[in-house]
Structures are given as structure tokens and as C-alpha cells.
A and B are shown apart, each in its own frame.
Chain A
């Protein structure tokens, strides 16, 4: 099955990097959509279905924590598996994002293999 992925990050170069790494890793992605912050992500998610969300935490307008809260109160979006991708690897942050509903957490730096493995684990959890 080919998956539709939404990459949420305020850095265009990081979004491009994640798209490239998904391709390099061999993960079966049908399409990679992009959003620059949580608000843009919600707008895209309400108009286009995706199978998995990869989101940064520190973003302007709406950050990753608020995005997780908004997803959790939206009946149509709350079941989309979400993988957090962040430079912050502290236990406090990982626990907080997990409590907010994140199914996976990948700290930077990460390799293509690590990203694929975590994506597959998160999607496996969702089935």
C-alpha cells in the first residue's frame, strides 16, 4: 500500500529533506504533502486525506503541541497516526507529545533507515 504523508515544518529546506529521505529510505509513499505550521496542516488535512503526519514542534502561528491538541478534538482527524520529528529529545518533551497523542517520536539527527522504521511502526500501530 502506498501512503499519503503530510510533512509539517516551518523550514522549507527541512520539509524538502524529509521528503527526500522518505524517498531514499524506500518507504512506500504515494505523495508527500507539506505544511509550514499547525494551522496550515489543519487546513490541508480538512481538505485532503492523509495516512500519516510528520510534525515538528517549534513552529510559528501554531506549534506542534497545539496541532496535536486540535487533532485530538477533531473526530475526522484524531485517528491519523502522528510522528513527531524534533531536535528536542528530552524525556519531558517525548512524554508530553505522547500524552497529546503522538504515536511516534523521532529525534534529529535521524537516518533514512530510522525514519522508515518509525513510519512503518507508527502505521503498523494504526492498522
Chain B
């Protein structure tokens, strides 16, 4: 990826995160340099792959308490009513929405194929050639990475 590609990609991901949080989670997302995502807390991490117009991998990670808060907001219930499975499903949905929205905006005229999001034991970390960003939410934080092949 050249420098311009990274900037365009980053802008698309930032916009997708913001739109998803505002429209569907009634939250706000501010890009930050670092957050609790890198503090060794228990995380829910989701991975999905995309093909055709662009090939690559998208990952999203969030601490369990943030996932529970997001799930409660999404489902319209109290955090104590959310179980782990529901929190994981919501993080999968969020990853799917952000990745689909970002890639659709980058290549609106092309074919886009996304895999189903999967919970992964892998860590979402900064890697060579990938864009990586932390976001501060109203009640927690999340991190995303997007790597083009």
C-alpha cells in the first residue's frame, strides 16, 4: 500500500466507524492513539475476510465490558441482561457493518464479498502493511485493523 492508499483507507474506516456508532449504537467514536484495548484486558475479537474488488482481512477488538455496553445499546436493554453470546454476536455485526460500509465507499462500482465474521483468539494488533486504529467510545473503546493483500 502506498501512503495515499493508507490515508484514503483510514478515512473510509473512520467514517464507517463513526456512522455505525452514531446510527446503530447511539454512541460516538473518537479516533485516539491508545486505549484500554492494549491494556491486556479480556477482549472479544472478530475477524472477517473480503474478496473480489479488494482482498484482505478486517479485525475488530473490544474489551468485554465495552461489548456488553454496545450490545445493551443495540438491543435496548440493560447491560446485566446481556449474555456473552449476545455480546459476541453484536461485535460480529459491528465488524460486518464497519467493514462493508468502508469497502463499499472505497469501491462503490465493484463486487464485494465478505465472509461471515468469526470470533478469533488472535489479537488485533498493529501489523506491517495494515491500518490500525483505536477509538474512544462513550462507554469504552475498540480497535480495528484492515489489511489489503
Main secondary structure of the interface of B (DSSP, over half): helix
Which residue of B53, B76, B93 contacts A14 across the interface (Cβ within 8 Å)?
B93
Which residue of A12, A13, A58, A107 contacts B114 across the interface (Cβ within 8 Å)?
A58
Which chain B residues lie closer than 8 Å to A114 at the CB level?
23
Q: How many residues of B contact A (CB 8 A)?
A: 31
The answer to whether B110 and A90 have CB atoms under 8 Å apart is: yes
Chain B 49-84: CB-based contact to A (< 8 A → 1; otherwise 0):
000010000000000000000010011100000000
Q: Give, as a whole number of angstroms, the nearest-CB distance from A14 to chain B.
A: 6
The answer to whether B86 and A109 have CB atoms under 8 Å apart is: no
Which chain B residues lie closer than 8 Å to A107 at the CB level?
100-101, 104
Answer whether residue B107 sits at the interface, using C-beta atoms and an 8 A cutoff.
yes
Answer whether residue A79 sits at the interface, using C-beta atoms and an 8 A cutoff.
no
Within 8 A of A (CB), among B95-111: 96-97, 99-101, 104-105, 107-111
Answer whether residue A20 sits at the interface, using C-beta atoms and an 8 A cutoff.
yes
Which residue of A12, A90, A92, A109 contacts B97 across the interface (Cβ within 8 Å)?
A109
Main secondary structure of the interface of A (DSSP, over half): mixed
Answer whether residue A17 sits at the interface, using C-beta atoms and an 8 A cutoff.
yes
Chain A 85-123: CB-based contact to B (< 8 A → 1; otherwise 0):
011111111000000000000011111001000000000
Q: How many residues of A contact B (CB 8 A)?
A: 22
Which chain B residues lie closer than 8 Å to A111 at the CB level?
22-24
Which residue of A12, A20, A87, A110 contacts B100 across the interface (Cβ within 8 Å)?
A87
Which chain B residues lie closer than 8 Å to A58 at the CB level?
114, 116
Among residues of B, the one whose C-beta sits closest to the C-beta of A10 is: B116
Within 8 A of A (CB), among B105-142: 105, 107-112, 114, 116
The answer to whether A89 and B100 have CB atoms under 8 Å apart is: yes
Chain B 1-41: CB-based contact to A (< 8 A → 1; otherwise 0):
00000000000000010011011100000000000000000
Which chain B residues lie closer than 8 Å to A20 at the CB level?
75-76
Among residues of A, the one whose C-beta sits closest to the C-beta of B106 is: A90
